[in-house]
Structure 1
Amino acid sequence: MNDFDQTKADNASAKGDSILTENDIASAENDGIPEESKIVSSENGISAENGSISAENDDISAEDDIFFAKDDIFSEKNDDSLLNISNLMKKNVEMQPYKKAVIYPAGWDEKGRIAYTHLTFMQLDQESDYMAHGLENAGITRGTRTILMVRPSLDFFALTYALFKVGAVPVIVDPGMGTRRMVHCLRESRAEAFIGIPIAHALRKFYPGCFKTLKTWITVGRRWFWGGLTLDHIRQTLWEAYPVAPTTRDETAAILFTTGSTGPPKGVIYTHGMFDAQIRSIKTHFNIAPGEIDLPTFPLFALFDPALGMSAVIPDMDPTKPAYVEPEKIIEAILNQGVTNMFASPALLNRVGGYGKEMDIKLPSLKRVISAGAPVSASNIEQFASMLPEDAEIHTPYGATEAMPVLSIGSDEILRQTRQFSEQGYGMCVGRPVNDIEVCIIKISDDPIEQWSDDLIVPDGDIGEITVRGDLVNRRYFEKPKSDALAKIREGDDIWHRMGDLGWKDNKGRIWFCGRKNHRVIT
């Protein structure tokens, strides 16, 4: 995160004055920002000279000394409506059965030309049926927590949707978090099944104490000394439509672990309803249409593509090291496949954009770029935009594993309006709420807040905690009641999630990100 010299607006809005109008703010002094309320950067984080932002700069542990008496205090809403996320993919099978769903780089010929293999939407549906029958026969059924450690590939897509079809619960971690943290997450999941490539099974054997709850393990590829089944062995040879499990909207669909970059990794429970809300929100907000071609450089977001009706082009890259991607391979995939949409981290955007600008490369098919995972600087956006058509847009949605996307802003507004204020130290504008998401800025606290009250909300212009509510917001962590206590606020049947970030709202409804709450200091 970039440090900011100044990150606080005045309280003028509370008195009816305007905050950050396009023509009215040139500097903190000209706008009458009180000297005592400015945020100044420090090596350890954000400090508040007026003392309104307090506490130590050490990371705050969610587990040390705060707990709820009842583990189920944040149990899911009562909603008996049936919903299985795999049925969204099946709808696209009906609409475009012969359209390519997944495109994978299979190799190169003697002239260096890349060759692709693919599955159509119909083939993906059938392949996941083959696997679903096999998974059920192997003992992986509705509710079975199943660690999935497979590289982005045709099998990765088919296996994931097969798990959804049987009603199993994929457990997915980001291998980029490092081996020690990853193994810790897998142990905490108490999974009953393990599906992975050979190196993943070798990891399992190297840390046997972390996988004591496993009953079934399946190797994708060559099986060595660890025994168990292989994907080839369980895959049913004769096709038969698999009856999708009648899961409910509030039934657990997957457990995704946070990266742990801002605290201990936690298992985020995704329900089928939460996945559905995310997909609807992404489709509506970014105007994604069936038949588009996506280049998802983060595997998890690639899984949305079959449900969105987009073709997913798997890039030739190590997804755990986006900053070291070979730009030529990303550009080649975009040009070869006529990619219209790309999801990329800021690090990848910067590397590919720098190369493309230097080589004067143009990407005429690419009309939309979505970049998330870290703050995206205006200079990074400007650099990559030099390769795009004039009507293309780079979107920088804000969110977290627990809630995504929450806020969003486009490159045109960033470069024309908010960039100058970020450079003056007002923070980084992360946009307005996406669709029906509610966002409030509340008083900063390190303590649990059991019940929501509008009295928590601070005036526009004041810095506070960013909190969000909506159907795509996670309601609880996996077996982490202490973390629930610190991150969740109940309001009737609804849950507000505390993002762990500080920010403020301007008079246009935009949120400005100021940094992590646990990085703040008092002077």
Structure 2
Amino acid sequence: MPEPENISSLIASCAASMPDRPAVIDGSRTISFKDLEAEVALLAAGLARAGIKPGTRAALMVTPSIEFVALTFALYRAGAVTVLIDPGIGLANMKRCLAEAAPEAFVGIPKAQAARLLLGWAKTSRLNITVGRSWFPGSSTLADIRALGAGAPAPDPRATPAAASINFTSGSTGAPKGAVYTHAMFAAQAAMLKDYFKIAPGAYSVPTFPLFALFDVALGLTIVIPPMDFTRPAAVDTAMLSGLINKHNAVQLFGSPALIDALGRYGERSGAALPSLERVISCGAPVSAAVIARISKMLKPGTPVSTPYGATEALPVACISGEELASLKPAPGVCVGYNWPGVDTFIIKISDEAITGWSDSLVLKDGEIGEIVVKGLIVSAEYYGRPESDALAKIRGAGSELYHRMGDAGWRDAAGRLWFCGRKSHRVTTASGTLFTIPCEAVFNAHPSVRRSALVGTGPAGSQTPALCVELEKGAAPGPALTSELLALGGANELTKNIKTVLYHPGFPVDIRHNAKISREKLAIWAAARTGTR
């Protein structure tokens, strides 16, 4: 796939090669690639006449829909730098992120525009566009933008700036940060996804995460937008989702681990099958073997369930299929597979300090746990307006080489596969050594009554006391007998023999984006209060 000057040119290419194919199915509405390209061109011209210049930062707060897809690519074509923030990060974080990005335009549904006015969001915005009915003074509508675009010249693609988007992280392990994406980075990601998964235009996909919906349609898939709350994927109507996949004979499903878990449990209860799917893709947090096994029972034999590894700042990094995962012998952590073609990864000695320059002496031997570092075209070069975060996360190499510190602990096996051991900031440092979350939790997750567990530390770093927080399966009850069984499991394993505290939690706090990343920071505070330690 040749690198486009502007990522929106992928829509134009699809329109030229398959004009009448449906691009987006949104409930009872459908738009073809030809009509989507026409809408993108019209809106881009209108946005330019309304004041969007190359480099203008434009916040986009529109729910997944035909309008969301058209506006995203129209903003790119107009040369805007879109500001994308997960609406589930909370009102305070949303206001802070918008203040940090300082958008000059704000495009949103009526609810978002009302929040902008009432809560003081995006005070820097001088162009406000409402997607839907507008009751807001000084706000344009999509109809206004289309009218401006009629007969107006198309934006010059040669004026496209390098930056395409500011994509904010979920903030699951700290304050959300805006990773700057370039058009070249988007193009590299699209090409890598297409080649790795052998995505062929003309098929149907059901994406349940907005960013992947954009990649799918740009690669020529017809996306079917499910009627769901995209900020609560674990609460999806699984019968609806299953029916939608089968109605359209969809070949691809992307979902967070929590959504895939919910769908697999539905299949287990109902006997529902998803025979048309050719691939299931899940990322955002570790995906357990049990989750993969449940969803695989709904698929025809041999259908891969792939779990890519990456982050907002670098995606995709590595990948593994459920079949390969099941074939591996147990080892510390979760295997996330081999490097994605075109991506280099390294394991370096763990440090919480900035590293000013790359040196091969930083790299650990295979088998040693350290922090994961990534290099490649899919790495975001910077956080917007956060030089202190850049200093901690980026390492400069020779020439223009850039390395990104993932903030994850892990190791590489003798075959070259990466293993994920948890977030670096979640490691528990005790007087007798360092405990990493994922390897320790796996020991206890093997108990049939445990839905999931989370290792946290209480007390000062270096002399922390480990505590295991446990969320039980439905129908299981906490009690002395279960606690004894869990402590016996832990005591029999060298990794977990010093974990002596088990606390039962009714429902772990998780991130909004994927409903799968456990907020161990919140659990640590809760555990400290329960145990009387700080």
TM range (shorter): 0.7 to 0.9
Deviates more, 1:92-101 or 1:504-513: 92-101
- d(CA) in 1 for partners of 2:350, 2:81: 35
Q: CA deviation at 1:230?
A: 1.0
1:278 is the counterpart of 2:189: yes
- Following the alignment from structure 1 to structure 2, what is the Cα–Cα distance between the partners of residues 199 and 355? 32
Question: Which of 318, 336, 339 lines up with 2:247 in the alignment?
Answer: 336
Scaled by the length of structure 1, what TM-score is found? 0.79
Is it true that 1:408 corresponds to 2:315 in the alignment? no
Does residue 251 (structure 1) correspond to residue 162 (structure 2)? The answer is yes
Measured in 2, the distance between the counterparts of 1:238 and 1:372 equals 39
- Check whether the contact 2:163–2:182 (CA below 8 A) recurs between aligned residues: yes
Question: Which of 1 and 2 has higher RCO (CA within 8 Å, sep 6+)?
Answer: 1
Superposed CA deviations along residues 395-440 of structure 1, whole A, max 9, x for unmatched, are 00000000111010001101222xx515xxx110011100110000
Structure 1 partner of 2:391: 485
Partner in structure 1 of residue 330 of structure 2: 421
Percent sequence identity over aligned pairs: 48
Cα distance in 1 for residues equivalent to 2:335 and 2:179? 26
Deviation at 1:358, TM superposition (A): 1.3
Q: CA RMSD in A?
A: 1.6
1:279-358 equivalences under 5 Å are 279-358=190-269
User: Do residues 443 (structure 1) and 355 (structure 2) align?
Assistant: no
1:506 correspondence with 2:428: no
User: Is the contact made by 1:248 and 1:272 (CA closer than 8 Å) also made in structure 2?
Assistant: no
| Residue in 2 that maps onto 1:123 | 35
The answer as to whether partners of 2:77 and 2:160 remain within 8 angstroms in 1 is no
Q: Which amino acid aligns with 2:323?
A: D
Give the TM-score normalised by the residue count of structure 2: 0.78
Residue in structure 2 matched with residue 193 of structure 1 by the alignment = 105
Once residues 473 and 362 of structure 1 are traced to their aligned partners in structure 2, the CA distance between those partners, rounded to angstroms, is 37
Distance 2:123 2:93 in 1: 17
CA contact (8 A) 1:84 1:245 kept: no
Aligned-partner Cα distance in 2 for 1:361–1:508: 37
The answer (yes or no) to whether the contact 1:395–1:410 under 8 Å persists in 2 is: yes
Structure 1 stretch 237-246 or stretch 433-442: which is displaced more? Answer: 237-246
Q: 3-state SS of the aligned residue for 1:264?
A: coil
- The verdict on how the C-alpha distance between 1:472 and 1:247 changes in structure 2, with shifts beyond 3 A counting, is farther
Q: CA contact under 8 A between 2:79 and 2:161: conserved in structure 1?
A: no
Contact 2:44 2:149 in 1 (8 A): no
The alpha carbon displacement at 1:155 in A equals: 0.6
DSSP-derived class of the 1:369 partner: strand
Q: Which residue in 2 is equivalent to 1:94?
A: 16
| Aligned equivalent of 2:56, options 116, 128, 144 | 144
Q: Judge conservation of contact 1:129–1:241 (CA < 8 Å) in 2.
A: no
TM-superposed CA distance for 1:187, in Å, is: 1.2
Question: How many angstroms does 1:88 deviate by?
Answer: 1.5
CA contact (8 A) 1:83 1:248 kept: no
State the shift of 1:245 in Å: 3.4
Q: Matched residue of 2:25: which SS? A: strand
Match of 1:264 in 2: 175
Residues 394 and 411 in structure 1, CA contact (< 8 A), matched pair in contact too: yes
Q: Is 1:475 matched up with 2:381?
A: yes
Counterparts in 2 of 1:375-414, with a 5 A limit? Answer: 375-414=286-325
Paired amino acid for 2:282:
S
Relative distance call for 1:250 and 1:439 in structure 2 (3 A) is farther
Partners of 1:373 and 1:242 in 2: CA distance: 41
1:352 Cα shift?
1.0
**Structure 2 spans left out of the alignment, 5+ residues:** 431-534
